[in-house]
Structure 1
Amino acid sequence: MATTLAVPGTAPATARAATPPGRRTGGVRAALTSTLLWVYAAVAILPLLTMVLNSFRTNQELVSEPLGLPAEPSLAAYQEAWIEASFSTYFWNSIVVTVGSVALSTVVSLLAAYALARSRSRLMGVIEQVFVSGLMMPVFLMIVPIFYLLDAIGMVSTRTGLVLVYAAVSIPFSVFVLGTFFRQLPGELEEAARIDGAGPLRMFWSVMLPLVRPAVATVVVFRFVPIWNDFFYPLILVRDRTRYTLPVGLTTFFGEYQTSWSTLFAGLVIATLPLVVLFLLATKQIISGLTAGMGK
Structure 2
Amino acid sequence: MNQSVTIELRQWIVEHAAAGFSREAVMASMVASGWQEAVARKALETTWKDPAPVLTQPAPAVRRDGVRHLPDLDLSLSPRQIDAGDRMVDVIASLNQPRVVVLGNLLSADECDALIESARPQLARSLTVATKTGGEELNPDRTSSGTFFARGQTPEVARIEARIARLLHWPIENGEGLQVLHYTPGAEYKPHYDYFDPDEPGTPTILKRGGQRLATLVMYLSEPARGGGTTFPDAGLEVAPVRGNAVFFNYDRPHPSTRTLHGGAPVIEGEKWVATKWLREREFT
The higher-RCO structure (CA 8 Å, 6+ apart) is 1
**Do the two structures share a fold, i.e. TM-score over 0.5?**
no
The normalised TM-score by structure 2 is: 0.27
The normalised TM-score by structure 1 is: 0.26
More strand by share: 2
More helix by share: 1
